[in-house]
Chains A and B, each alone.
Chain A
Amino acid sequence: MRNLILGLALTSIFVAAALISFLWTPFDVTKLDIPNKLQAPGGAHLFGTDQFGRDIFSMIMVGARTSIAVAIVAVGIGMVIGVPLGLAAAARRNSWLDEFIMRGNDLIFAFPSLVIAIMITAVYGASAFNAIVAIGIFNIPVFARVSRSAALSLWQRDYILSARVAGKGAVRISAEHILPNITNLLIVQGTIQFSLGILAEAALSYVGLGAQPPLPSWGRMLAESQTLVSLAPHLALFPGFAIVLTVLGLNLAGDGLRDLLDPKLRVART
């Protein structure tokens, strides 16, 4: 319970920062202010300024927007495609369809995700959209696998047999009886994939393949700080803390939700 509250509190701070940044930020993140470059934290600039004099605090607020948006859409892609696949595989277990879906899953897992993500963004151009697609593809097998294994155990229940005796087909049973009973699990897995998505977006931006300038992103802020880190450590500290706290918040919330909803839930963390 403590985990859940702490996690939700941390997460909502960053979600709030992202939302507020649409309306207001302390400073304009697109405007360069070279005379005020590399200011230390404190004073007018709470977290200091970067090498172009931009306000770090404002950049972190806008960066939250990028990170959260990319991660949410990537989780959405994984769920919308993965869950139906998993449900279908469970409904027709041991059939060629199940075999096909699960083998496909294994295959995606076998590809080095970061390498493929880099390849996709490099070939089709670096952009937030391509980063979303690259991260989202690797969420599909996660959700397919989790929903299949949860659905398989539900298919063994007598209430599914009752529904079959009542003449209901696989699609209807999946929608009426299976899906509502695995939503808890999907929510918990969703928060974990969400946090992994934020880490992945940061990594892609760090190598310059995520959101493009002038849109600030946490990963790129870290990359830009690298050469200056011994000179102005605050450049590397604040975006790093932002990532750590968001991911930590989501993970704590996920664990807390799991304990609250069902302590026996099995969640894959890879």
Chain B
Amino acid sequence: MLRFTLLRLRSLILALIVASLVIFAMIELVPGDPASFMLGINAREDTINALREELGLNQPMIQRYFSWITGMLTGDFGTSYTYRTPVAEIVVERLWVSLPLALYALTLTILIAFPAGIWAASRRGSLTDLSVMGATQLGIAVPNFWFAMLAVLIFAITWRIFPSGGFPGWDEGFWTAMHALTLPAVALALPQASILTRIMRSSLLDTLSEDYIRTARAKGLTRGQALRRHALRNALIPVLTIIGLQFSFLLAGAIIIENVFFLPGLGRLVFQAISQRDLIMVESVVMLLVFAVIVVNFLVELTYGLVDPQLRRAR
């Protein structure tokens, strides 16, 4: 297990280094130089020069890359050009919306997908299976922002049981905050739950056709016992992989849903930073999101070890 962890850790660090280089290069490649891009075409030459000075653009590229990296490692993400406050502060504040929202949506996803997937797989070909599969087809096809618009129309405007947007903050109490996050979380979870249900079902069907299931049945296990005791754990590896991907997607991919519901989250922050051409903010937040994705995938791979004894025993 230690060897396995160390190997994964090595590729984790490598991936982070390459990702940071790519992001840095992307910012360098914007038309003109970052300073003139940020200020737009109407900016005066001396303002641009001042910003160049502030950003350190007069230093060599390699030096700028290393000061960006060392800054990030020590928690200094630079200062936002539009907000004039440290990026780190803003990010932490926004994380308090995005992280709970992602976890909420992921919980909903798992709570829907596991039972539905298992149920459909254990009744393969039945009416239950067909309806679950039909529902997931629909769930995948519905754009989540459209679903969100309709949900607002029905639950917030017509019935008034949920707020139509905005976030009161955690100071207003846990339940008030969760209440405000419910519609966005459902909108986010709907397509993800559909995908995960399908993965759960097909992975379970694959393992149910394995020889060892037949062995278990020959021992006298019922269909249900064979599914619970032998198929489920073996079916979990592809499901875990998808859950990992989904978590990172929910963290960063909520941009549009955050826009629909006017939630002050990370996605909306990046979106606004991009439209305001605040490259410092963009650079650091994108790096942070990539970091989150890579680390989550790393953790998912470690959990494989818990499922698969062969990885655990690897010398």
Contacts and interface: CB of A to CB of B under 8 A. Distances in A.
Nearest to A222: B146
A112 B266 CA distance: 12
A250 B37 CA distance: 40
Interface stretch (A17-25, A70-78, A114-122): A114-122
B248 A112 contact: yes
A119 B256 contact: no
Interface in A92-146: 103, 106-107, 109-116, 118-119, 122-124
A196 to B, nearest CB: 9
A201 to B, nearest CB: 10
A112 B23 CA distance: 12
Interface stretch (B56-64, B75-83, B136-144, B216-224): B136-144
B252 A251 contact: no
A203 interface: yes
A243 B141 CA distance: 8
Nearest to B255: A114
Interface stretch (A44-52, A80-88, A229-237): A229-237
Interface in B227-268: 242, 245, 248-249, 251-253, 255-256, 259-260, 267
Contact of B146 (A107, A109, A236): A236
B13 interface: no
B140 A112 contact: no
Given A118-B274, A119-B282, A269-B195, A233 B153 contact: yes
Contacts of A106: 15
B50 interface: no
Given A195-B141, A247-B140, A230 B259 contact: no
A252 interface: yes
A62 B297 CA distance: 41
B183 interface: no
Nearest to B37: A123
A207 interface: yes
B255 to A, nearest CB: 6
A269 B142 contact: no
Contacts of A240: 142-143, 146, 149-150
Interface stretch (B114-122, B287-295, B304-312): B287-295
A248 B290 contact: no
A123 B31 contact: yes
A230 B157 CA distance: 7
Nearest to A240: B146
A206 interface: yes
A122 B245 contact: no
A124 B286 CA distance: 18
Contact of A110 (B157, B158, B267, B290): B290
Interface string B266-302: 0100110011000000100010011001100100000
B19 interface: yes
Contact of A236 (B149, B248, B297): B149
B199 interface: yes
A207 B272 CA distance: 11
A212 interface: no
B4 interface: no
A244 B289 contact: no
Contacts of A123: 30-31, 37, 274
Given A107-B15, A222-B149, A203 B286 contact: no
Contact of B293 (A103, A112, A236, A247): A112
B26 interface: yes
A52 to B, nearest CB: 20
B271 A207 contact: yes
B297 A110 contact: yes
Nearest to A104: B18
B199 A269 contact: yes
A225 to B, nearest CB: 8
A206 B19 contact: no
Contact of B19 (A110, A122, A207): A110
B83 to A, nearest CB: 18
A61 interface: no
B143 A202 contact: yes
B145 interface: yes
30 contacts: A107-B18, A107-B22, A109-B245, A110-B15, A111-B22, A112-B248, A112-B293, A113-B253, A114-B256, A115-B267, A118-B255, A119-B26, A202-B143, A203-B256, A206-B145, A207-B255, A207-B256, A207-B271, A222-B145, A226-B149, A229-B152, A230-B153, A236-B146, A243-B143, A244-B138, A244-B143, A251-B141, A270-B195, A270-B242, A270-B245
The 9 closest A-B pairs by CB, nearest first: A112-B252, A247-B141, A248-B141, A240-B146, A122-B274, A110-B293, A244-B141, A112-B289, A230-B157
Given A240-B143, A240-B149, 12 more contacts: A110-B293, A112-B248, A114-B252, A119-B286, A206-B145, A207-B259, A222-B143, A226-B260, A247-B141, A248-B138, A251-B141, A269-B195
Interface of A: 103, 106-107, 109-116, 118-119, 122-124, 195, 199, 202-203, 206-207, 219, 222, 225-226, 229-230, 233, 236, 240, 243-245, 247-248, 251-252, 255, 269-270
